[in-house]
Amino acid sequence: MEARCETTSWKEWFEAYGPKLLLCARQWTRSLADAEDVVQEAFVRYWRHQRNLPGDPQALLITSVRRAALDLARRETRRVNREEKADGGLEEREGIFDPLPGDGDERRLEIESALRRLPPEQREVLALKIWQELTFEQIGETLDISPNTAASRYRYALAALRKELKPLSYG
């Protein structure tokens, strides 16, 4: 019975935080499939080896997701370089967000494009703040930067997005 409770516990935890972790992972990966793989790999690594470590479990898991994404990016870069030498082709990037109904798809593409143009340091802080709902202190701990640096990167990211994205007009 105890093992069953443990299984239920991790499933409930994953159901609660998995979607947020996936959005976060999308900021560090090229495709939804890669993000899903990264989240799964990070969660299994966390559950098997890190869940008894001191500290905030969500911060530990986000760190694990980030590391898994960086590992994947390194492997992907090596693979792409090999393929470019072979045939010169690159895959087209998938969207970050699900398509929106109606005219929203154009706006989604505009937002995704603006997000991709942000410096990676700002984009990851933005993702952790908005989609993971972390404090600047937690972000600083996760990224090994000061909370003030995290807050500055967040402000710079928002300012850049405001400057680049036109406000929606209703009416």
What is the C-alpha separation between 139 and 126, in angstroms, rounded? 10
Lowest-confidence range among 23-37, 48-62, 141-155? 48-62
Residues 107 and 152 in one domain: yes
CATH code at 49?
Answer: 1.10.1740
Residues 79 and 64 in one domain: yes
Residues 147 and 118 in one domain: yes
What is the C-alpha separation between 113 and 80, in angstroms, rounded? 22
Please, what is the average pLDDT of the chain? 78
Residues 4 and 70 in one domain: yes
End position of a domain, from candidates 75, 94, 113: 94
- pLDDT (tens digit per residue) in 151-168: 999 999 999 988 888 776
Residues 90 and 72 in one domain: yes
Range of the domain at 64: 1-94
Residues 160 and 82 in one domain: no
Check residues 4 and 26 and name the one with the higher pLDDT: 26
Q: What single-letter amino acid sits at 149?
A: T
Residues 70 and 12 in one domain: yes
Considering its fold, how many domains does the chain have in total? 2
Residues 82 and 20 in one domain: yes
CATH code at 138?
Answer: 1.10.10.10
- pLDDT (tens digit per residue) in 38-96: 998 888 888 787 777 777 777 888 888 888 888 888 887 777 666 666 654 444 455 55
Angle of CA points 20, 21, 26, to nearest 5°: 100
Residues 114 and 146 in one domain: yes
Residue 5 has pLDDT above 60, yes or no: no
Q: What's the Cα-to-Cα distance from 15 to each of 40, 48, 69, rounded to whole Å?
A: 12, 18, 20
Residues 100 and 62 in one domain: no
What is the C-alpha separation between 125 and 136, in angstroms, rounded? 9
pLDDT, residue 88, reads 47
Residues 52 and 119 in one domain: no
Residue 171 has pLDDT above 60, yes or no: no
Residues 85 and 58 in one domain: yes
pLDDT, residue 105, reads 65
End position of a domain, from candidates 63, 94, 125: 94
End position of a domain, from candidates 94, 129, 153: 94
